[in-house]
Amino acid sequence: MNYAIFHHLFHQTTLFLILSPWFIVYAIAELALKPFYFFYEKILLRKVKSNKIPKHIGVIMDGNRRYAAQAGIFSKDGHLLGKNSLEKLLDWCMDLNIRIVTVYAFSMENLNRDEKEVAALMSLFDSSFKEISNDNRVHQNKIKIKVIGSPEKLPKNVQNSISEAEEKTKNYNNFQLNIAVAYSGRQEIIHAVKTIVDKAISGEIQSRDIDSSLLSSHLYTADLPDPDLILRTSGEERISNFLLWQIAYAELYFSEKKWPDFDEEELYMAIFE
């Protein structure tokens, strides 16, 4: 058990012991309702699978810091629990045959956060991409890893870890995980427009060739279908500069749960609604 999870469980257990009478009531109620919850989840899963399953979902993983603050743990431990939630999400998506997942891991604006927090996140990215490179689940399920954004703005060791993960999985095509790091939706569009302008100046394309399909073909997600569903956690109801062009026709789902609390049932609800 890693430190972050142990610290969180210790904190929660202490609270329950302080409020022990309520804990006993809660535990009895949870035990009594467990069979009903099991059948409810099975029914919900059956309904979800009978609906049209998204080919591509985008996730704004929000709430790690707020979760940490409420749980009385360090911010870095909240981010670590958020990483664990992402791993579980990928398992659920593979079970549902959702082939493409794009997650918003770190925005361009996040580079302006407190230096210690950014350093901790960079360390987490470095170790996480190294883990991905050697994760048997990634290789057994043929998951292609792709980073979108401006990774050149990240420390060199993180860039190297990203390159290794992308290189080792570049020929996989069963599933794809896109990780938006140092990402900005506006900058993505600006980058695409600049590339098109340069091609027009050089005579490679004509003005009559410029349309939505051409612009889409110059985005970071050029070889992928647009997302069918965007979900965001932690109660915020905004897009925050994520895949601005690609989500024109996507369904939007906003969850009150913070990202470390996100569970399988919530994913089912997002798809079912």
Q: Which amino acid is at 57?
A: I
Task: Report the alpha-carbon distance of residue 252 to residue 231 in Å, rounded.
Answer: 6
User: Which residue is associated with the tokens 């956690």?
Assistant: 233
Residue 20 burial (C-beta neighbours within 10 Å; 0-12, 13-18, 19+): exposed
Hey, which residues does 267 pair with through a beta bridge?
none
Q: Measuring CA to CA, which residue among 271, 266, 220 is closest to residue 250?
A: 271
- Tell me how far CA of residue 250 lies from CA of 86, 107, 216, 246, 247, in angstroms: 21, 21, 15, 8, 5
Verify whether residue 110 is a known catalytic residue. yes
User: Which residue is associated with the tokens 């026709």?
Assistant: 249
Say how many residues make up the chain: 273
Given 2, 64, 97, 110, the catalytic residue: 110
Verify whether residue 141 is a known catalytic residue. no
Residue 106 burial (C-beta neighbours within 10 Å; 0-12, 13-18, 19+): buried
Question: What DSSP character marks residue 211?
Answer: S
Given 62, 77, 126, 228, the catalytic residue: 62
Task: Report the alpha-carbon distance of residue 38 to residue 213 in Å, rounded.
Answer: 45
Task: Report the alpha-carbon distance of residue 154 to residue 143 in Å, rounded.
Answer: 24
Task: Report the alpha-carbon distance of residue 204 to residue 231 in Å, rounded.
Answer: 38
Question: What DSSP character marks residue 77?
Answer: H
Please list the active-site residues.
62, 110
